[in-house]
């Protein structure tokens, strides 16, 4: 399938904010205002909210029809130059069978989000070839502190046109439940770790592992042949559930197909420990496979949150602990 690259975002343009799962109204109004103000000040981007953002139908932000219409309208509108998820949830995959993929393909725009938005990004890239972006959502900019690496990576990959981009390693990270006291607590970042040495190239697939696996057996699950799998997961997981996900990937044959894997940092509350570690899980699930694996990448549910272009070419060097996007990802 031909890869389609969206037009880069520019200061002064408008981004549409969508809620395709959980309604936005459950976030404190002052947090939302802080996020919108930050996005304007940092990037010069204006916010336009989807009509269903604060709707509630059962546990979702309006009906499936309302959520699909909001997304379609933003892809159609010439005054909307990019689309960002407010946050995640549990039910974004409901919209996939109702999307007009020809419409999206004819109006390629920056589409960014993470967590439950993984389904939308993966489904659209798989069906259209459009490069989408697993990266910050509105909720990211609502936090009391937004790390410089989050800001600069987003700017570099969606607002600038670079022939390559080498991911930095942050000096510190945060994984506390910031919304309880509106405070980010930072710790020293030990940096990227090598689980299995080697080098590999391929196009990026992935996102939130539990969310991605909801697409298994559907037309929206990404083709894995020759790809580099980027995965992470949220604070609600634990060693038992992570083991289950990696085992499912193994038994689906994903590890027979990919060229390499990059795993995001798991929050400490997930409970991985010396006696129940990620390495133990990987030793079992990757038995018999020799592709390079890098762990502790700044991606997903800890901060900083790097922007990862789904569908773009990437090179990973687990020996030198380097991850480089090797092509332009926008126009």
Domains along the chain with CATH numbers: 14-163 (3.40.50.10740), 166-325 (3.50.30.60)
Locate 231 and state its tokens: 């995965």
Catalytic entry in 115, 122, 170, 285: 115
Helix axes 148-158, 29-43, angle to 10 degrees: 60
pLDDT at 68: 98
Catalytic entry in 149, 232, 237, 296: 232
pLDDT at 310: 98
d(CA 222, CA 126): 5
Q: Catalytic residue at 59?
A: no
- SS3 assignment, position 24: helix
183: number of CA atoms within 13 Å, CB side? Answer: 3
Beta bridge partners of 113: 134
267: number of CA atoms within 13 Å, CB side? Answer: 21
**Digits of tens for pLDDT over the chain (331 positions)?**
899 999 999 999 999 999 999 999 999 999 999 999 999 999 999 999 999 999 999 999 999 999 999 999 999 999 999 999 999 999 999 999 999 999 999 999 999 999 999 999 999 999 999 999 999 999 999 999 999 999 999 999 999 999 999 999 999 999 988 888 899 999 999 999 999 999 999 999 999 999 999 999 999 999 999 999 999 999 999 999 999 999 999 999 999 999 999 999 999 999 999 999 999 999 999 999 999 999 999 998 999 999 999 999 999 999 999 999 999 999 9
pTM equals 0.97
Locate 175 and state its tokens: 């994984």
CB 227 within 8 A of CB 295: no
Locate 46 and state its tokens: 């204006």
End-to-end, the C-alpha distance of the chain in Å comes to 18
Q: Catalytic residue at 301?
A: yes
Number of separate helices (H) and strands (E) present in the chain: 10, 16
Q: How many angstroms separate the Cα of 51 from the Cα of each of 70, 72, 102?
A: 7, 12, 23
pLDDT at 180: 82
């Amino acid at each position: 399938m031909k890869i389609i690259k969206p037009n880069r975002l520019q200061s002064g343009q408008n981004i549409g904010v969508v809620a395709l799962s959980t309604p936005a109204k459950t976030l404190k109004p002052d947090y939302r205002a802080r996020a919108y103000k930050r996005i304007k000040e940092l990037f010069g981007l204006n916010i336009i909210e989807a009509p269903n953002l604060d709707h509630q139908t059962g546990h979702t932000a309006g009906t499936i029809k309302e959520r699909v219409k909001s997304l379609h309208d933003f892809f159609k509108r010439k005054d909307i130059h990019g689309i960002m998820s407010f946050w995640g949830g549990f039910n974004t995959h409901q919209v996939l069978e109702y999307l007009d993929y020809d419409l999206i393909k004819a109006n390629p725009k920056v589409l960014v989000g993470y967590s439950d938005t993984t389904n939308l990004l993966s489904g659209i890239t798989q069906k259209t070839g459009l490069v989408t972006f697993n990266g910050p959502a509105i909720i990211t900019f609502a936090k009391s502190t937004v790390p410089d690496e989050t800001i600069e990576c987003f700017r570099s990959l969606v607002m600038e046109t670079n022939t390559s981009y080498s991911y930095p390693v942050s000096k510190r990270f945060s994984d506390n439940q910031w919304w309880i006291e509106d405070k980010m607590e930072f710790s020293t970042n030990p940096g990227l770790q090598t689980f299995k040495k080697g080098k590999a190239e391929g196009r990026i697939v992935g996102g939130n592992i539990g969310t991605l696996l909801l697409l298994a057996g559907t037309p929206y699950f990404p083709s894995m042949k020759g790809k580099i799998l980027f995965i992470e997961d949220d604070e609600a997981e634990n060693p038992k559930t992570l083991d289950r996900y990696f085992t499912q990937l193994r038994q689906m044959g994903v590890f027979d197909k990919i060229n390499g894997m990059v795993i995001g940092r798991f929050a400490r509350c997930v409970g991985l420990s010396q006696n129940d570690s990620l390495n133990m899980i990987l030793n079992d699930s990757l038995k018999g496979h020799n592709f390079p694996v890098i762990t502790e990448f700044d991606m997903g549910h800890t901060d900083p949150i790097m922007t990862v272009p789904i569908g773009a070419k990437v090179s990973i060097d687990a020996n030198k602990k380097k991850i480089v996007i090797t092509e332009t990802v926008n126009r």
